[in-house]
Amino acid sequence: MELLAMKTNKESSMSAPSMDEERSSLAGEMEGKVTQYEHSYQQRVPGKKNDGLSISNFWNTTSTSIIFLLTGVPRLEAFHTWISIPFCFLYITTLSGNSLILFAIVTQPSLHEPMYYFLSMLSTTDLSLSISTLVTMLGIFWFDVREISFNACLSQMFFIKLFTVMESSVLLAMAFGHFVAISNPLRYATILTDSRIAQIRVAIVIRGTLRLTPMVALLKRLSFCHSHMLHHSYCFHPDVMKLSCTETRISNAVGLTAMISTVGVDSILILLSYILIIKTVLSIASPEEKKKAFSTCISHIGAVAIFCLPLISLSFVHRFGKRAPAYIHTMIANTYLLISPVMNPNIYSVKTKQICRAVIKILHSKDT
């Protein structure tokens, strides 16, 4: 027993210094990185020597004085200029495609119908979602501008969440519109009037704002005493929560509840609406009418798929892809917010004949 005790004490005495050495080496490495970035920041901005990024202020700060540091693509910093090329292409496609659809719906009287009003709401949401990440993402890739204040980070996080929730709500409203058009086509125009669509638009904005405001209010109360280095090129809610040194269970619960009560509930209601749509279509006797009814839903089904699949893929990567390189996580996180805004205009332009004709007419008029 004495030999065993002596052996245990010897092992613990040998392991303790190794653990201390490991911790000290990690702390030294982090301090070195922060010092290096502070030095580069001072070179870029002369005269700002103590702006909250020094070591003494980098730890144990409150939300009012925080400056977060965004991240580009880890280990590929030298190729940021080349990496920005496909992202620029995605942003240009998003902005031009959605703007063209909005312009077509506004200027073409033949598109002043409920279905196209919902499509204009979807395009507006896609434009807003892409713009909310445009500045920080391209700022990192082009100019290596990584600093973002806490309030700016909070605003970006809120708008990303808000436009995501709004897109989910718009897709639900479009599913309801398809159900009304198929189940009761004669009353479609009387049920979805212009005033009612305006009320739906206002309700979508109010719903998202009320659901997400408590999450933002709780984040304002957090303190951050760890590294302020974020792992994305935009402010991502779970990413910011991990940096807090205060209790975050309530904030996590509120954020999760907000997303479940919006995107989660919307997904279930969209599924139920399509069950009712399929049930209604199957009761139609004519095969041609069945085909026509299903064809009107193809674009919307594609929009729902490209909205949900990137979210599910990102969740799977974060949960099961922990051994994957860091740049894989970053690239997926950067692209998942752009897939839906890029693909929606293409889907509706190809699958919806009226939109396709209106876009061609606009482009042809510009050429002439």
Q: What is the pLDDT of residue 325?
A: 79
Q: Taking Cα atoms as reference points, which of 61, 70, 136 lies closest to residue 52?
A: 61
pLDDT, residue 328, reads 78
**Does an H or E element contain 177, and which?**
helix 150-183
Contact predicate 130/341, CB 8 Å: yes
pLDDT digits (tens, 9 = 90+) for 142-153: 999 999 999 999
What pLDDT sits at residue 288? 83
Q: DSSP letter string over 180-224? A: HHHH-GGGHHHHS-HHHHHHHHHHHHHHHHHHHHHHHHHHTT-EE
pLDDT of residue 63: 57
SS3 content of the chain, % helix, strand, coil (to 5): 80, 5, 15
DSSP label of 342: H
> What is the reported pLDDT for 209?
96
Task: Give Cα 138 distance to the centre of its chain.
Answer: 16
Concatenated DSSP letters of 49-101: SSSS-SHHHHSSEEGGG-EEE---STT-GGGHHHHHHHHHHHHHHHHHHHHHH
Does this model's pTM top 0.85? My answer is: no
- Residue 20 confidence (pLDDT): 43
Residues of the chain with pLDDT under 50: 1-35, 37-60
User: 120 CB contacts (<8 Å, ≥6 apart)?
Assistant: 101, 102, 105, 106
* Rounded CA separation 105/117 (Å): 8
